[in-house]
Structure 1
Amino acid sequence: MSRQTLKVPDIGGAEDSEVIELCVQVGDRVELEQGLIVLESDKASMEIPADQAGVVVEILVKEGDTLAEGAAIVVLETEAATEASAAAEASEGAEESVEVAPETVAEPAVIAETVIDKEPAPDTTAEVIVSVPDIGTPDAVELIEICVAVGDHVDEGDSLVVLESDKASMEIPSPQSGEVLSLAVAVGDQVTEGDKLLVLVGNAVAVTVSPSEPEPKVADPAPAEEAAKAPKSPPINAQAERSEAVPVASGGVYAGPAVRKLAREFGVGLEQVAGSGPRGRIVKEDLQGFVKSALAGGTQVGTGSAIPPIPEVDFAAFGEVDIQPLTKVDKLTAVNMQRSWLNVPHVTQFDEADITELEAFRAELKAEAAQREVKLTPLPFLLKACAQALRDNPRMNSSLIGDGENIAFKGYVHIGMAVDTPAGLVVPVIRDVDKKSLWELAAETAELAEKARNRKLRPLDMQGGCFSISSLGGLGGTGFTPIVNAPEVAILGVSKLAVKPVWDGEAFAPRKMLPLALSYDHRVVNGALGGKFITEISALLADIRRLLL
């Protein structure tokens, strides 16, 4: 047995790549080509595979380290001397054995023996098909970026395309210098090893050298002299050559997969970000700077709609002003409400609930409420009615999954209630409303409201809501349009009770009418369901005996 230190291979010049994941632990057995670590640069995320099998005896890096080509990664315990090292030693010995002493150059017999079947052919222009190399998986992967355009000149090692699998993003380098003649792929294509990517036109040198023999030095001075006199094409700077027409990927921006992933996490449209990297590439620092500026109030983040900001106004120019900072709660409320309003297609339906009988029943319970030391407001009745309606209409008790292709139906009924506090609006959540009595709900709502006003709510107290109620009954008003508290899909707005004449079939009678406004996410709830839901709530409030059914 012997120990071998595995190092970072050639990673395309990506210096200071960060270790973002360790794929093995001490004691693990790894096979050839098994992933050891995952590195991320400003261009790509890549798995570094093992170039031999063995058992991990030591890990020389940790997450967060920055590595470059040649950096040691792990120490493996392998079988005795590897074939690779033996072959390397043999190759070195062979190179030493073919060193030709200066005095032997003039001996024709030696020269003929050395260069036989190895004479370089003149340079020729040839078309080269560039295909997907070994990418470590037989599965199809997505092509997420094309780094070149037809007519571009590329040098060996320049990036051609970027592929993304479920494990890593990788740039495919050019195997040689040349000009891009045609592209065979497009952004979004699924490709596998061997699939054609593009065609290059470049200089190809035909050399017939046996792989097992070392390449000899040119011994005949005549060909060397002719080669020296031949005109040489000037070196081409691939970076400058392509700067005139910056290649872009889908979306009209030029950014690597790591930056695109970060942008998705931030909810930032990359078309809003200016790139400072080579050829206008957007790097992480550009994205982070954009988000920092946005949080400072300079840009709308995550709207994807390029909404122009409201211009700054010097209010002091018109009179005396008193500028005070927003509270943290106010800032969070503003961000959440703006995000919901911009992302959720709102619809609001209005109705009135006849709560004449409910109010009479509540008045009868006033003495009992005093004995229980609980104030029985209309809110517990509203909570019970909403809980019943949510149970009867499961789609109202759901949320869209982030991928936009699935919906989560919830087996619990947690309802939030908006509470106005000196620090701003907060929404504590009452859990399992459908399982609690009116008295329990009365006590719990009073307790949560007191905690909210005293700023003693825990984060958990404001999480997990399925639906919300915002009641402005004590403040007045005949109606309003509440904003859905996403990812919930609906919210009920309650305005001030009013006594109105209502026709009962024979005459007009005074009835206590409660204005209701149901706002909902039209992606999940259609008008028919919204109408059915608010009608059921009105019916339950009009006859609370239905809550027993």
Structure 2
Amino acid sequence: MAERVVRLPDVGEGIAEAELVEWHVKVGDIVREDAVLGAVMTDKATVEIPSPADGRVTWLAGNVGDLLAIGSDFVRLEVDGESEQAPKTAELASPASSVGAQSPRHAASAPRATANAPPNGMKSQPGAAPLHHAANRPLAAPAVRLRAREAGIDLHQIRGTGPAGRITHDDLDAHLTHGRTGTRATPNPAQTAVTDIKVVGLRRKIAEKMSIASSRIPHITYVEEVDVTSLEELRAKVNGQKRPNKPKLTLLPFLMRAMVRAIAEQPHLNAHFDDEAGIVHQHAGVHVGIATQTPTGLVVPVVRHTEARDIWDCASEVARLAEAARNGNATRDELTGSTITITSLGALGGLATTPIINHPEVAIVGVNRIAIRPHWDGAAFVPRQMMNLSSSFDHRVIDGFDAAQFVQRIKLLLETPAMIFIDS
């Protein structure tokens, strides 16, 4: 009788250890070739380890929950035949070589192989995967081995694409389709290249702030359709008659003024929530942040005291701040202190979005693109210029009813733009 050592194979992705999650055998059990001995788990997948031969289990590596090093002994079997001798040839690249030093016993029994020669009487095919010596047994699940045997396929002829070269059912399918009639396609190196880009500077700050907002704020998003036909007609007429020293009016100044009117009725939406202290800081001044895309990332310049500005002043300040932000000239004061934010992607705005709140604010209003849609006027469908508002709220301090009421008030003002300028 001889001892056969089954080692924990390299499961790929540069993983140095795996967690033992299940034993399928115990010491003393008689196992057959391809029977599953146990399973290990990495952060990528769960991998079953099959028996390479018939034998009796004499030793197991540990208990469920233990972390095992790649390349370490997993199971020892008592098998028929003489003890394994390490061939006097060059050692193959061993999984254990990537996880640190081995014990002398492990190093002495590390897998070795002779030159890659075809099995007896078998000729190599041009472009075929390298042939493996029997000592380097192909890694495959028992179901894959059974299917290969039934189809008369030698697994030594297949290059596995799974973790650590594991042969999968897809590999068998590809071999059945191409392997017997031609060669498998080899990807262009440029198609398999991986570029590592370190997240630094503004991009890192954005990532940190988005993580905080997403993890700490329970968002509720409310989407409403707005008929902006009248507003767009008004805007076109005003822009056509404006003086040269006046800025071009976009939709944003009208939305900002509508938000000021709505906030006057619901001031608790113009606030910061200090969740650690459990305090909502409600602001008297409406400082509207305008999410702006720049070459280096998304920033939020702030139009301060929007409640004290008219349409033209709002338009001028939005244009000035956007240019300063894109040129990298915006000051710290101009990029901080917003109490409620508007986000818009313009023509790319989509039908609906789920904006992330600009922490520690409690509300954000998202503008989606304007499109002509059929609208029922009570008697017939007529073409109207429609736009969705997608707005998110901090559900810890803003109830769904209040969120809906806020958006509905903005909708009414935008659909009847004269009301934006009339004090009630």
- Equivalent residue of 2:373, what SS? strand
- Computing the radius of gyration over CA atoms, which structure comes out larger, 1 or 2? 1
Cα RMSD of the aligned pairs, angstroms, is 1.7
Q: Is the 8 A contact 2:271 2:340 kept in 1?
A: no
Report 1:102-501 matches (<5 A).
319-369=192-242, 371-501=244-374
CA offset digits 1:180-204 (Å, max 9, x no partner): xxxxxxxxxxxxxxxxxxxxxxxxx
For 1:476 and 1:487, the matched residues in 2 are separated by 24
Aligned to 1:514: 387
CA offset digits 1:289-348 (Å, max 9, x no partner): xxxxxxxxxxxxxxxxxxxxxxxxxxx997123433435111111100110110001110
- Equivalent residue of 1:480, what SS? coil
Aligned to 1:72: none
Q: Aligned AA for 1:467?
A: I
Q: Is the 8 A contact 1:329 1:423 kept in 2?
A: yes
Percentage identity across aligned positions? 38
CA offset digits 1:67-100 (Å, max 9, x no partner): xxxxxxxxxxxxxxxxxxxxxxxxxxxxxxxxxx
- Equivalent residue of 2:387, what SS? strand
Q: Is the 8 A contact 1:484 1:490 kept in 2?
A: yes
- Does residue 527 in structure 1 map to residue 400 in structure 2? yes
Aligned to 1:99: none
Aligned to 1:502: 375
For 2:349 and 2:223, the matched residues in 1 are separated by 16
For 1:528 and 1:402, the matched residues in 2 are separated by 22
Compute the TM-score of the two structures, normalised by the length of structure 1.
0.41
For 1:327 and 1:454, the matched residues in 2 are separated by 19
- The Cα shift of 1:462 comes to 1.4
Aligned to 2:182: none
For 2:219 and 2:410, the matched residues in 1 are separated by 20
Distance 1:373 1:408, change over 3 A: closer
CA offset digits 1:321-380 (Å, max 9, x no partner): 343343511111110011011000111010011110000001101233462241211111
Uncovered stretches (5+) of structure 2, i.e. residues with no partner: 1-188
- The Cα shift of 1:401 comes to 3.0
> Bigger relative contact order, structure 1 or 2, given CA contacts below 8 A and separation 6+?
2
Compute the TM-score of the two structures, normalised by the length of structure 2.
0.53
- Equivalent residue of 1:457, what SS? coil
- Equivalent residue of 2:240, what SS? helix
Q: Aligned AA for 1:406?
A: I
Uncovered stretches (5+) of structure 1, i.e. residues with no partner: 1-315
Q: Is the 8 A contact 1:327 1:424 kept in 2?
A: no
- The Cα shift of 1:409 comes to 1.6
- The Cα shift of 1:423 comes to 0.5
CA offset digits 1:399-449 (Å, max 9, x no partner): 223444332221110000000010100000001111111111111101100
Aligned to 1:538: 411
Report 1:1-40 matches (<5 A).
none
Q: Aligned AA for 1:451?
A: A
For 1:464 and 1:476, the matched residues in 2 are separated by 25
- Equivalent residue of 1:381, what SS? helix
Aligned to 1:26: none
Q: Aligned AA for 1:516?
A: L
Report 1:70-89 matches (<5 A).
none
CA offset digits 1:465-488 (Å, max 9, x no partner): 110000012224111100001110
Q: Is the 8 A contact 2:246 2:312 kept in 1?
A: no
Q: Is the 8 A contact 1:369 1:376 kept in 2?
A: no
Q: Is the 8 A contact 1:348 1:481 kept in 2?
A: yes
Q: Is the 8 A contact 1:491 1:518 kept in 2?
A: yes
Distance 1:476 1:370, change over 3 A: farther
Q: How many residues align?
A: 234
